Amino acid sequence: MDRVIIFDTTLRDGEQAAGAALSVQDKLDIARQLEKLGIDVIEAGFPISSPGDFEAVQLIAREIKKSSVCALSHANAEAIDRAWEAVRKAKKPRIHIFLSASDIHLLYQLKKTREEILEISLEMVARAKKYTDDVEFSPMDASRTEPAYIYRIAEAVIKAGATTLNIPDTVGYATPQEYGDLIEGIFKNVPNIGKAVVSVHCHNDLGLAVANSLEAIQRGARQVECTVNGIGERAGNAAMEEIVMALKTRSDFYHLTTNIDTTQIYKTSRLVSELTGFAVQPNKAIIGANAFRHESGIHQDGVIKKAITYEIMDPKSVGIPSSSLVLGKLSGRHAFKERLAELGYIMDEDSLKHAFQAFKELADKKREVTDRDIESLIAEELRTVTEVYHLDHVEVSCGNHNIPTATVRLIGPDGQAVADAALGTGPVDAVYEAINRIVKVPNKLTEFTVKSVTEGIDAIGEVLIRIESNGVSYSGRGADTDIIVASAKAYMNALNRLLAVKKVRK
Ligand code: KIV
Ligand code: ZN
């Protein structure tokens, strides 16, 4: 097989990242984008872990048609039944069972023998197999397990019906050579290995997740488990975009393909960053803000003469919008709509009307409107959080001899405008205090980042924040040429998410 199956676990292992909290609607939005990206298998969640996870997996299973939808399960009957209940309506359902295999886990955590683990694994694979043909099994902490025992488990679970055998480097401990040897050993020592796809699942504790995954692929693995932007438990999982682009850019070396439409990578990365509230570091490979920026004069000179001198990938191939002028103040609605379609956005008339209005306002403030600006503006329009409160007006007074003061006006759930004012330690604090006086939901601001979408003094500022209420965190995003307005929008976005969740829980 010369194609690598891309198994995305952003919605399961990715969401296990400390501080990530996605609503059911966020998860559905991400799943839809993953399907557009061409992901083969979407691990949508861990149904037994919470009612919210169950609901999200069930919803995704009903909606997604092209990708397989996978539910994670402990190796026990109740968890498997719950996983099946959540994915059974999927066009292509998969159950993924995991059970620890290393002596460290068996001795200190499970207090079970190897024989007991083997028996439970077989029994549970057989149980899942009664529900669906597509069953995956993971001997957890495989990279710290004696290889001979992994071979025994592998042979047994494949015999019981597992069609994918996943080999997790659960704690990100393996080196590429060791991990590759383990995968090669499986092909050499498991007689029925031809009946299953060998999968890899690498964590990034030593920064080796992508290197380990690629080495495993070299040694015969044909499914790779990864997450968008590499988010996940602790230091995260192998980054989907890095693996896919390594396989594509170095196809001369790997001679392998994937089903991924790489032009959707940037949009997917932005969506995941926005909804999880995790900003992407500027030097992040493939999708970081500096990934295609050339600073040195020699490099710039080379790229102007011929891009290939210093660029190994075309930024367009990962869907990075160009930062050169595309539209201006005089551009009409038709040109705007066409540009949106070229960027892959199809909007209904109502959203288009709002977006065009926002574009006109931006074009009035900014000399040049680029694809990056449009992309940031559209992210605002496509946000699916239903607003309970809408930011109608914000005004601040500040300076080195002024006490920062803010006045805000919000439109409430009853359609009435409510205004209030507050002082703060700075302009953003004053705005947040004024909003708090109206919305009255106790919360704590735990993260605040601001960055510019493009270069220049008139650039759009993008604010990503995270607030915490009752131990749950909510992210918010806002964009505007005025960073105080962007900050107010981000706060309203996070508050509206919080209020939407409260409404559902009532
Ligand atoms: O890292 C791990 O071992 C896992 C398993 C559930 C596959 O995430
Ligand atoms: Zn994992």
Report how far ligand 2's centroid is from the alpha carbon of 263 (Å).
27
Query: What's the mean pLDDT when you consider all of the chain?
Result: 92
Give the residue, 97 or 459, on which the prediction is more confident. 97
Q: Which of 267, 221, 262, 232 is nearest to 245 (CA)?
A: 262
Contact 475, 497 (CB under 8 A): yes
- Tell me: pLDDT of 474 over 90: no
Contact 2, 255 (CB under 8 A): yes
Least confident of 120-124, 151-155, 223-227, 478-482: 478-482
What tens digit of pLDDT does each residue of 147-162 get?
Answer: 999 999 999 999 999 9
Contact 387, 489 (CB under 8 A): no
For ligand 1, residues with CB inside 6 Å are 13, 98, 138, 140, 166, 168, 170, 201, 203
Q: Name the percent of the chain lying above pLDDT 70.
A: 96
Q: What is the mean pLDDT of residues 403-427?
A: 96
- Tell me: pLDDT of 122 over 80: yes
Query: Buried (b) or exposed (e) across 268-283, using 16+ Cβ within 10 A?
Result: bbbbbbbbbbbbbeee
- Ligand 1 nearest-atom number relative to CA 98: 6
- Closest Cα to atom 1 of ligand 1: 170
- Tell me: pLDDT of 503 over 60: no
**Confidence at 168, pLDDT banded by 50, 70, 90:** very high
Query: Which ligand is the nearest neighbour of the Cα of 199?
Result: 1
Residue from 110, 138, 226 to probe ligand 1 pocket by mutation (most atoms less than 8 Å from CB):
138
Three-class secondary structure of residue 452 per DSSP: strand
- Provide the pLDDT for residue 254: 98
CA distances from 208 to 87, 284, 300, 392 (A): 32, 15, 31, 47
DSSP-derived pairing of the beta strands 93-100 and 68-74: parallel
- Ligand 1 nearest-atom number relative to CA 171: 1
- Provide the pLDDT for residue 373: 84
Residues 60 and 65: their CA atoms lie apart, in Å, by: 9
Q: Which amino acid is at 46?
A: F
- Closest Cα to atom 4 of ligand 1: 170
Residue from 98, 104, 105, 202 to probe ligand 1 pocket by mutation (most atoms less than 8 Å from CB):
98
> How many residues are recorded in the chain?
506
Report how far ligand 2's centroid is from the alpha carbon of 18 (Å).
13
Query: For residue 239, with 0-12 CB atoms within 10 Å meaning exposed, 13-18 middle and 19 or more buried, which class applies?
Result: buried
Report how far ligand 2's centroid is from the alpha carbon of 45 (Å).
12
What tens digit of pLDDT does each residue of 261-310 get?
Answer: 999 999 999 999 988 888 899 899 999 988 988 878 888 888 888 889 99
Residues 152 and 185: their CA atoms lie apart, in Å, by: 12
- Provide the pLDDT for residue 1: 63
Calculate ∠ Cα 223-227-233, nearest 5°: 110
- Ligand 1 nearest-atom number relative to CA 225: 7
Calculate ∠ Cα 356-358-359, nearest 5°: 60
**Confidence at 384, pLDDT banded by 50, 70, 90:** low
- Ligand 1 nearest-atom number relative to CA 140: 3
Q: Name the percent of the chain lying above pLDDT 90.
A: 71
Query: For residue 245, with 0-12 CB atoms within 10 Å meaning exposed, 13-18 middle and 19 or more buried, which class applies?
Result: buried
- Tell me: pLDDT of 455 over 80: no
Phi-psi region of 220 (alpha: psi -120 to 50; beta: other; left: phi over 0): left
Report how far ligand 2's centroid is from the alpha carbon of 446 (Å).
26
- Tell me: pLDDT of 12 over 60: yes
**Confidence at 342, pLDDT banded by 50, 70, 90:** confident
Report how far ligand 1's centroid is from the alpha carbon of 205 (Å).
14
Least confident of 168-172, 290-294, 366-370: 366-370
Return the DSSP state at 385: P
Residues 315 and 266: their CA atoms lie apart, in Å, by: 9
Q: Which of 150, 157, 37 is nearest to 101 (CA)?
A: 150
The H or E element that residue 369 is part of is strand 369-370
Q: Which amino acid is at 156?
A: A
Report how far ligand 2's centroid is from the alpha carbon of 40 (Å).
18
